[in-house]
Amino acid sequence: MRKPFTFVLVFSFALFLFLPASQAHASDQDLITDSILRSAETFFLSLKERDFETAWKTLSESSRESIINDVYESSVKIGGTLRREDIVRDFDRRGIMFTNYWQSFLRTFDADIVLEQSLWKMGRIAETKAEIIIQYNKFSNPTTLRMLKEHDTWKVGLNETFSSAGREKWFDFFKIIHGV
């Protein structure tokens, strides 16, 4: 009679040890998911509200670097004499090039499409990378927004999402939105 009681006691103790750990893990995962989604939402809301300072801060370092390079290359193509350092300085000061870049961006991008007309769901989550699947209701294929953890903060990876290979998908997205 003693064996079943010992077995139940040992099993109960083991269950007690492991159950809270799995609940804690699920709770941690929920916090991570919330943080990732909040960062992405902050980016799109800041665009909608024309809060370019916040939008810039929520971008990954690679995305910010890519934007500065794009502005520099565009300047060179039209015969501009700007140095890359001038563009960096202007963006650091949130100057006219910075503002013009974001205003131009918003001429082809409507944040409401992502915020109000799309379904979001979490994709893969790793230690420093995550994916948010964004399904626009007029598209058959979703867009996978890449997120990166930098300095303990989740950042939006526009460059990582729409790299040169993905830019065509990005432009197709805008063409459909604008009926082109």
Tell me the per-residue pLDDT of 105-164, one tens digit each, with 9 for 90 and over. 999 889 999 999 999 999 999 999 999 999 998 777 899 999 999 999 999 999 898 875
Q: Give residue 8's pLDDT.
A: 42
Residue 55 reports pLDDT greater than 90: yes
Mean of pLDDT over the chain: 82
26 falls in which pLDDT band (50, 70, 90)? Answer: low
Read off the pTM.
Answer: 0.76
Q: Are 153 and 160 in contact (CB under 8 A)?
A: no
CA distances from 63 to 19, 59, 80, 100, 178 (A): 41, 6, 23, 17, 24
Output the pLDDT for position 75.
Answer: 87
pLDDT at 14: 47
Query: What ranges in the chain are assigned the alpha helix state H?
Result: 2-48, 52-57, 61-77, 84-93, 96-108, 111-116, 158-161, 167-178
In CATH, the architecture of 34-178 is: Roll (3.10)
**Strand-pair partners of 133:** 121, 144
d(CA 91, CA 44): 19
How far is residue 17's CA from residue 64's CA, in Å, rounded to a whole number?
46
Can you read off the two tokens belonging to residue 93? 């000061």
Residue 79 has pLDDT above 70, yes or no: yes
